[in-house]
Structure 1
Amino acid sequence: MQQKKFYPLLFSLLIIANLAYITYFWLHTSGPALLAGGNAALIALGRASGLYGAFLILLQFLLIGRIKWLEVWIGLDKLSRLHHYNGLLAIIFIILHPLLLLVGYAAAHNYTFTRQLIDFVLHWGNVAQAIIGFLLLIGVVIISLHIVRQKLPYENWYFTHLLTYAAVILAFGHQLNVGTDLQYPPAAIYWWLLYVFVFGNFILFRFCQPLYQLWRRRFYVAAITRETADAISIYIKGKNLTKFKIAAGQFIIVRFLAKNFFWQAHPFSLSCAPNGEYLRLTIKQSGDFTRSLENLPVNTKALIDGPHGVFTARFARRKKFLFIAGGVGITPVFSLIEDLARQNITDIKLLYSNRSAQNIIFQKDLAELAQRYGIAVAHTITGDQSWSGERGKIDRAKLLRLVPDWLERETYLCGPKGMLRGLKQMLLAMGFPKRRLHYEEFSF
């Protein structure tokens, strides 16, 4: 089995194994109530919803925690998409949990819903805190939907999601105090180990590792240069960068520790081959934050989370490459091409699309790589009618004409979301093997 498919399958099996064990100890304790039917069955299903919902919430922390061993297996882009769908499923179970228990216990005690809710709060250990946690979680969902629909800055989404930590902490106590299924000793031990494992990994990789890297590498901004009218490069240096294990094509999440910058962290791709001397990040100035980066003081310390990503040559099985890039999508592509060329892998073709010649990033550097290593570089311009070379979007006709042996190559795609999806659909429709198609999709 190919390594690229094996790890996601293994991760899926681990999730299924955990869900199977949760189902086992739920049936061990609540199975008789389920079989009894009626109110008892509603209560049993309410308990199951709580267990599954809590597990899926914990899984959320693993999926978005930038857990290195997990990311290397699957890729941060796929984990981010799984995080989205898993979150929707988790919320369904979390909502069902109190509703089923409220209806079931109210009927069993012959109480009104209001009286049963008051009984939960007054006489069931830590349930009041759990209700607050539940309301916080629902609030996070509602606010997040508003942020996505209004296309508000990522920071709004990030700071809102910090409330999820409080919700999980508030809910934990009632799970062990009044969770009938967790009174079963093996289940209680498993539940504790599950929390320790998840939050141990989350804290280690999300917080401790970046701080350790800052202490060990002493990252700082060495220089800022302009590439085009709307793109700059930031050079980051540090201590013993030869030991900072980053691969061409990967990205880092950077927080610049300067006034007006430190409260935001953003992902940027490495735009040069790893060299042990510096990291270069090439950034399109398309928003308030990125436009302000040209004013970032030199010598500013940088807190770096990463490296991340699997947009590398790791899974390539052939030594013939095709790269298709659009706009600032050239940044990880350039680092890959430069790195491959230094390894004497030079059967490389690049199709690079921009709106105008003035937008071409690394135009001189690409020409030098082409001259030195014989790499074939084809620029195509979509918006400048005065351009004398290739014009228009990269389509089937251009691909067949410019890269006749396209079907024999490892193919890497990087560019705007619409371009990326269009190229994927085109290549797959043309019969290109999915296993040799490499890309990452993010919604940062």
Structure 2
Amino acid sequence: MTLSTVLPRGHRRPPAGGRRFTLADPLGSLAILSAVAVVALWTLNQGGPLSLTTPDRALGSLGLLTGLLASDLMILQVVLLARIPWVERSWGHDLLTRRHRWIGFASFWLMIAHVALFAVERAARAPAAMLDALVAVFITDPWMLFATVGTILLIMVVVTSIRAARRRLRYESWHLLHLYSYAGIAATFPHTFTDGADFHETWTRVYWWSLYGFAFAVTLLFRIALPTWRSLYHRLRVESVVTEAPGVVSITARGHRLDRMKTASGQFFIWRFLDGPGWSRGNPYTLSAAPTRDRLRITIKAAGDGSERAARLTPGTRVLIEGPYGTLTARQRTQPRMLLIAAGIGITPMRALLEDTSYAPGEATLIYRYSEDQHAVFTDELRQIAARRGIELIFLPGPRRADTSWQAAGPAHLDDDAHVLAQLVPDIAHRDIYVCGPPAWITAVRNAARGAGAHRDHIHTEEFAW
């Protein structure tokens, strides 16, 4: 078998190399610069440390600074998940989601500090009329009732974003509650311009209006307008629904000129099926087959209302999409050889990557972990692709050895995770490594790969979590 018979048309094997420059590099600097600009504005308008000379001035000045920083981080949160295509391609959706969460908690505590500092300042001004002062600062001052309601909404969103709370919520419920953050930000917006001392200067107001306007514009464009246009233009409809394993179905959707989206294997879309009540709640599903000019295929494991409904879809059902998103693609490769490691339903992007990624026979290895044979997905398809393209397949069935291990229980338990991985793939240090599965399992694989000699920049992951 010659190289020309196994490489997809128009694709080339990547040369060996190191980390490449991406737009993520300047984007991170711009995010930090926005916070620096806020502190600079506070210093120019309030005098910086000179505003902390008395307790009363210090409370008000620090209250203003924490409020400004909270506002800046809230805007940054919105921009991070505005689905801006070049931001998604540079950072990756799972990394953006994690940083969105960290920034959200930082913004939350700055907002709480802002509220507390101004409440103490007002109470300290008139101790005998403390209740009236608090009513004024939270309710009767211009736009403060809106700000209070917005703060309550944002607190609700943050509380339901705590990991322990998310475990008790369905994805659909959590997603609906999370949308209230937009209402919370909008409600806190007016008081900033009517009551904030930093907004009295024209050029300062222009700066902040520009930030808020940019966040609003990109959200409207990339989260509403672009997905709506793509759904109308590509006219996707369900073509078939196939049961792959107990509780697992594959859905093939057919559409018009899907190649114009430049979708890559390993990416995912937010899917909405117009099959009745509940259609508006989108769910993220990864492609499980290489995208073609007129078809996309996803494979879904029943885990909530949306995924359970998918098994009952009928051919002809209209489909709305957002995407494509994700960076678990061949575009990340720097090495000619590949190692793909999947657990459970995490096999879906790996199956697509194996189908159309550029590699020669013997250059790709797949390790597939699953608990029981009946839960294994695509084993026949994987064997067919392996026979056609010269892939080494390693199936590892059985229950997981331990919560901190990536291995299945068995004779290999005498060896540590890194040693076993190095035995299975001796040249792991010279491969790009793609990993997909549950978050804790991905962490175990990443640690084992690093222990076996892999460079961290060669490890590419996509977490099936929210």
TM-score, structure 1 normalization: 0.91
Shift of 1:98: 2.1
- The aligned counterpart of 1:310 is 327
Q: Distance in 2 between matches of 1:69 and 1:370?
A: 33
Question: Could you tell me which of 46, 53, 61 is aligned with 1:36?
Answer: 53
In structure 2, the CA distance between the partners of 1:140 and 1:363, relative to structure 1 (3 Å rule), is closer
- The aligned counterpart of 1:297 is 314
- The aligned counterpart of 1:328 is 345
- The aligned counterpart of 2:131 is 114
Q: Distance in 2 between matches of 1:227 and 1:150?
A: 27
- The aligned counterpart of 1:387 is none
Q: Distance in 1 between matches of 2:149 and 2:357?
A: 54
SS in 1 for 2:441: helix
Is 1:31–1:44's contact at 8 Å kept on the other side of the alignment? no
Letter in 2 for 1:267: P
Query: How do residues 213-292 of structure 1 correspond to structure 2 at under 5 angstroms?
Result: 213-292=230-309
- The aligned counterpart of 1:375 is 391
Matching of residue 201 in structure 1 with residue 226 in structure 2: no
SS in 1 for 2:311: helix
Matching of residue 424 in structure 1 with residue 446 in structure 2: yes
In structure 2, the CA distance between the partners of 1:276 and 1:7, relative to structure 1 (3 Å rule), is same
Shift of 1:136: 2.4
Is 1:30–1:44's contact at 8 Å kept on the other side of the alignment? yes
In structure 2, the CA distance between the partners of 1:391 and 1:369, relative to structure 1 (3 Å rule), is farther
What per-residue deviation string (whole Å, max 9, x for no partner) do you get for residues 319-339 of structure 1?
Answer: 111111112111101111111
In structure 2, the CA distance between the partners of 1:121 and 1:215, relative to structure 1 (3 Å rule), is same
Shift of 1:134: 1.8
Question: Could you tell me which of 357, 361, 364 is aligned with 1:348?
Answer: 364
Is 1:254–1:304's contact at 8 Å kept on the other side of the alignment? yes
In structure 2, the CA distance between the partners of 1:111 and 1:189, relative to structure 1 (3 Å rule), is farther
Is 1:67–1:201's contact at 8 Å kept on the other side of the alignment? yes
Aligned residues between the structures: 438
Matching of residue 16 in structure 1 with residue 32 in structure 2: yes
Percent of aligned positions that are identical: 32
- The aligned counterpart of 1:137 is 154
Is 1:42–1:101's contact at 8 Å kept on the other side of the alignment? yes
Q: Distance in 1 between matches of 2:97 and 2:465?
A: 8
Which deviates further from its counterpart, 295-304 or 6-15? 6-15
Is 1:103–1:113's contact at 8 Å kept on the other side of the alignment? no
Q: Distance in 1 between matches of 2:383 and 2:167?
A: 42
Is 1:322–1:412's contact at 8 Å kept on the other side of the alignment? yes
TM-score, structure 2 normalization: 0.87
In structure 2, the CA distance between the partners of 1:352 and 1:39, relative to structure 1 (3 Å rule), is same
Is 1:241–1:277's contact at 8 Å kept on the other side of the alignment? yes
Q: Distance in 1 between matches of 2:248 and 2:294?
A: 22
Shift of 1:424: 0.8
Is 1:340–1:346's contact at 8 Å kept on the other side of the alignment? no
- The aligned counterpart of 2:426 is 404
Letter in 2 for 1:413: V
Is 1:380–1:391's contact at 8 Å kept on the other side of the alignment? no
What per-residue deviation string (whole Å, max 9, x for no partner) do you get for residues 365-402 of structure 1?
Answer: 11111221211112121159xxxxx9847944543333
Q: Distance in 1 between matches of 2:203 and 2:237?
A: 49
Q: Distance in 2 between matches of 1:345 and 1:239?
A: 34
What per-residue deviation string (whole Å, max 9, x for no partner) do you get for residues 202-228 of structure 1?
Answer: 121111111111111011111111222
In structure 2, the CA distance between the partners of 1:176 and 1:202, relative to structure 1 (3 Å rule), is same
**Aligned-CA RMSD value:** 2.5
Matching of residue 436 in structure 1 with residue 452 in structure 2: no
Is 2:253–2:295's contact at 8 Å kept on the other side of the alignment? yes
In structure 2, the CA distance between the partners of 1:353 and 1:161, relative to structure 1 (3 Å rule), is closer
Is 1:175–1:182's contact at 8 Å kept on the other side of the alignment? yes
Is 1:4–1:315's contact at 8 Å kept on the other side of the alignment? no
Shift of 1:273: 1.3
Q: Distance in 1 between matches of 2:126 and 2:351?
A: 68
SS in 2 for 1:195: helix
Shift of 1:112: 3.6
Which deviates further from its counterpart, 57-66 or 74-83? 57-66
Which deviates further from its counterpart, 155-164 or 244-253? 155-164
Q: Distance in 2 between matches of 1:239 and 1:147?
A: 42
Letter in 2 for 1:244: M
Is 2:339–2:433's contact at 8 Å kept on the other side of the alignment? yes
Is 2:244–2:377's contact at 8 Å kept on the other side of the alignment? yes
In structure 2, the CA distance between the partners of 1:62 and 1:365, relative to structure 1 (3 Å rule), is same
Q: Distance in 2 between matches of 1:400 and 1:22?
A: 49
Q: Distance in 1 between matches of 2:139 and 2:340?
A: 64
- The aligned counterpart of 2:107 is 90
SS in 1 for 2:447: helix
In structure 2, the CA distance between the partners of 1:275 and 1:18, relative to structure 1 (3 Å rule), is same
Is 1:136–1:163's contact at 8 Å kept on the other side of the alignment? yes
Letter in 2 for 1:440: E
